Structure 1
Amino acid sequence: MRKLKLQVNITLDGFIASPDGKTDWMWIPGKKDPAGLQKVIELATSSDTLLLGRKMTSGFINHWENVADNQPDSPEYPLGQHLVNMRKIVFSRTQKEIKGRNLEVENGDLATVVQHLKEQPGKDIIVYGGAEFVSSLISLNLIDEYNLIVNPVAIGKGMPIFNDKIILDLENSITFKTGKVLNTYRPA
């Protein structure tokens, strides 16, 4: 059975975005980390399906299609190529169609659809966000692996993904030269 892996950047105080949805705190000026990017690429390429919530989809698709189409010299280019070419499923209660390459819109019951996807053959499934969508997956106990990239910043208030108590077992922890830490957890 395929695993559903969450990969998300998170602040020290537990938010994945500021209250207005901005994530500008993720990029530390003057601090590039090829090892961190390589780990993100490895996580992405271990999956052949990407799940997204509707609210973050437009910006996500526009960014990565631009990287894949117009930035061959960017260190993010290999990631962009993979993300654009992989199957993407956007969950929405309100929209039936969203533009993007290899993108499908799913309006069905979240738990039923995700369980069916896990039972299909293929590589693992990865989810990046958004906050409400990820919170729903967590509340429904659908995440099999949590890859939390903890950023060395606190923002005071923002969008959390954990709304209830959850106990996780730490599987691995990698520290990057930017001060970011990738903690990989499994449900206890």
Structure 2
Amino acid sequence: MRKLTYFIATTVDGFIGAPDGDADFIYDYLDGEFIEHLKAEYPETISTPGRAQLGIADAAPKHFDTVLMGRGTYEPGLKQGLTSPYGHMREQYVVSRSLTEAPDPAVRLIEGDLVGAVRELKARDGLGIWLCGGADLAGQLIDEIDAFVVKTYPVFVGTGMPMSRAGFGARPLELTGFQALGGGQVITSYAVKR
């Protein structure tokens, strides 16, 4: 059974974007050491154009071969003409109620039973499934998430888009990894205790 992992970037105070969802400010907190870490440990989470720029276009996936994103996460790239942001992955899914057809043949839409679709994906063979974002999608899938990898950047913003809109509920986690990088970023990994 494949695992659904919420691999997400956040501020110290737990926000993944500004109140309007824009997360571009996060790029100010990326440095060479952090980029090298992503290239080495999570190359599949770098967009296809980014992989080409970084010289890792052919890097094999280590953790995920499927990406699942909400429409809000997909939209910024789409506005720039990037219809297949993770074309190097086996499968790309966008959850949307408003898109009637996928803008790219390599991207599949999930419109109906989200939990059922995710359970079907988890039952398939392969590497893990990367829940790319955002808050609404994480909230809808909170009971399907098996693990979290949280990249915390050294910035406090005060308000914005939370990591999840799941609603209150204590959900126990087990720390499975911790790494502090020189630029102040911290990467923590957790398994969901069931």
Give the TM-score, by structure 2 length.
0.78
Q: How many positions carry a matched residue from both structures? A: 172
1:53 is aligned, of 67, 70, 92, to 70
**1:113–1:122 distance in 2 versus 1, CA, 3 Å:** same
The structure with the greater share of residues assigned to helix is 1
The answer (yes or no) to whether the contact 1:169–1:187 under 8 Å persists in 2 is yes
Return the alpha-carbon distance in structure 2 between the equivalents of residues 135 and 174 of structure 1.
26
SS at match of 1:157: coil
Code of the residue aligned with 1:20 in structure 2: it is D
Q: State the identity %.
A: 30
- State the 1:65 CA deviation: 4.4
Distance 1:175 1:50, change over 3 A: same
Question: SS where residue 141 of structure 2 aligns?
Answer: helix
Q: Does 1:84 align with 2:101?
A: no
CA separation of 1:178/1:119 partners in 2, compared to 1, >3 Å: closer, same or farther? same
2:194 matched to 1:177?
Answer: no
**SS of the residue aligned with 1:36?**
helix
- Equivalent position to 1:41, from 40, 43, 46: 43
In 2, the alpha carbon distance for the partners of 1:158 and 1:59 equals 17
Q: CA RMSD in A?
A: 2.4
1:39-188 to 2 correspondences below 5 Å: 39-41=41-43, 45=61, 46-61=63-78, 65=82, 83-86=86-89, 87-100=91-104, 102-138=106-142, 141-162=143-164, 163-165=167-169, 166-188=171-193
Is contact 1:15–1:158 with CA below 8 Å preserved after alignment?
yes
Query: Is the CA contact (8 Å cut-off) linking 2:29 and 2:153 kept in structure 1?
Result: no
Match of 1:75 in 2: none
Specify the SS of the correspondent of 2:28. Answer: coil
Deviations 1:109-128 (CA, angstroms, capped at 9, x unpaired)? 11111001100112211111
- Letter of the 1:85 counterpart: H
Unaligned ranges ≥5, structure 2 = 47-60
Which aligned runs of 4 or more in structure 1 are off by greater than 6 angstroms? none
TM superposition score normalised by structure 1: 0.81
Q: Is the 8 A contact 2:44 2:64 kept in 1?
A: no
SS of 1:147 mapped into structure 2: strand
What residue in structure 1 maps to residue 50 of structure 2? none
In 1: Cα distance, 2:95 partner to 2:106 partner:
14
Q: Is the 8 A contact 1:64 1:84 kept in 2?
A: no
CA deviation digits over 1:117-142, x for unaligned, max 9?
A: 1001122111111221122111xx11
Partner Cα distance (2:69, 2:175) in 1: 25
Deviation at 1:30, TM superposition (A): 8.1
1:22-72 Cα deviation digits (max 9, x unpaired): 213312368322333223316672211110111221323566949x9xxxx
Moved more, 149-158 or 159-168: 159-168
Tell me the SS of whatever aligns to 1:16: strand
